[in-house]
Structure 1
Amino acid sequence: MMQNDIASARRALYDDMLDLHLTPLWESLHSLVPKHPSPGYDAALWRFEDIAPLLARAGTLISAEEAVRRVLVLENPALPGSSSITHSLYAGLQLILPDEVAPAHRHTQSALRFIVQGKGAYTAVDGERTTMHPGDFILTPSWAWHDHGNPGVDGLAEPVVWLDGLDIPMTRFLSGGFAENGEAASQGVARPEGRSLAAYGFNMAPVRQLHSRASSPIFNYPYVRSREALETLRRQEEVDAWVGVKLRYINPLTGGAPMPTIGACMQLLPAGFAGLPHRSTDGTVYSVVEGSGSATIGGKRFAFAPRDTFVVPSWATLVLEAPQDVVLFSFSDRPVLEALGMLREEFLLK
């Protein structure tokens, strides 16, 4: 057949396929099974100094009751309208003002809170409250009742802001989203504050009444303890040339990630750190806890400051630099990739 005849015959074949909801794999095989990840979303950075005034304005215009959760979603520039920071993760900055309550609800989406600014607020999870401090990493597991309040501390109350991280896009892809509102704004307190940490946070666990959820029984990992661990290791061990001093949060009962779908880490980059490039298949969201520095992501440099947020796409090369001490919190979809045997990392020399 002549080339024109072949092209015409192919078009006719494809048109006939459409009536039966069929498509030819050979036309899309290379994009469906690429040689390396092509995430389809961008590296990006959100400056807290730009976002804070907008959060404050939202606080004057939208009540906590009206908003349910007063959050500015960090939407990836390449994914407009998706409420997603990566294809599998959601991130947003939430504000709660003094004397407000974000009412109790629960949902199948797993969530984390990383406290960015302010103190005096609390999160309650399944009947236990924990007071929030900057740098604390707090879990609200799938289908766990949770609410937030801001009564202040020692007679003083101030606005509190935290970074929300959820597996909303993942849950949406699996069509597994359910939610339920509580009957009261605040759930009843059934256990004293600190009970979960006391029971599970000291390399011990109760002999009876073990935690039955897939997530960690610890739902507040205090920053003061994380920071102390990083500082001790910085003094005692050689600093990793790619990531500095980096620790992952774990479920103490399993040694795995705190939640089945979201992993989290804290790392310290000592002053003068000039990291080597590395990359991984987990898309990762970073929150800057202390210090200023830069992240070069896929060849594009982003200068960051405390409380900024940035995202590193899957398989994008990351180089971190810190002229002063820098502490970074991060979360990603790593547990899912590990469970599926799809996690891949490379630590490059240049």
Structure 2
Amino acid sequence: MSQNTVTRAVVIGHGHYLPERVVENEAFTQTLDTSDEWIKSRSGIERRHFAAEGEMTSHLAIKAARAALETAGVGADTLDAIIVATSTPDLTFPSVATMVQDGIDAGGAFAFDVQAVCAGFVYALGNASALIAAGQARRVMVIGAETFSRIMDWTDRSTCVLFGDGAGAIILDAQSGNGTSDDRGVLSVDLHSDGKLRDLLYVDGGVGTTGTAGYLRMQGNQVFRHAVEKLADTANTALSRAGLGAGDVDWVVPHQANIRIIQGTAKKLGLSMDNVIVTVQDHGNTSAASIPLALSVGAADGRIKKGDLIVTEAIGGGLAWGAVVLRW
């Protein structure tokens, strides 16, 4: 069979940043009717990081961006675009991405934000890959960064114990592939949303309603019910589009929302938890930052190696969900 040369978006660098302040589960027992065991058994979370006063989403994103440039061994002046996935921007506008562009001195890059809540990084990665495939950009930095601690209702024990702050970044480079599943880079993308389910996970404030940032509200049981089925389906669809199956996967790098969702999705895919990168115990749910954080941690500790096949999937408010298959 003849092979056609295609342009792939290949990962050449990764980095992450977590705020210095670490909050163990025990800290919540002072003000809420909860316990370390209750939080761990329901979510798998043991601790999370919270941004310091005055430390904003852009600050976390800039530090993750610098780390990614370092591992890639490239300068910020070589970037054509910067995409930041976030639901907790510093300001209504301008975008966090423009603040990152200034912060790392990437004067030649256009910059914009993507907002798909916890699915934001998957959406941003899909868009970055499309920009590269279309020839619109040759080198794109994709960042997930959040300060969800700023939209927590600290009296709601069902939500405030679940979330954390952090940022992760990758750099994608346009490289030639043969058009087969053996290529390095993004191999397939599958994205979905259903606005009818928006009341399952939302923030009760905004520019056009209350004029305030608002607080996160979630129907946890309903989100859980949708999550496992939709995540397994989108992962299988993305794999199928790449001409691959679950048996070809080296690593699942899922959105780190809840250990039970992660376990349930792996089981539905027929994969062992030995093939899953799990960071939820240390980071909590960092929304759009959770996948790039987990990718960077997995690559930094040597688990994720060049040539490994990765499927990454996420679901968040919207509802919005999707998966990306890529070869590291």
The TM-score, its normalising length taken from structure 2, stands at 0.31
The TM-score, its normalising length taken from structure 1, stands at 0.30
Between structures 1 and 2, the one with greater helix share: 2
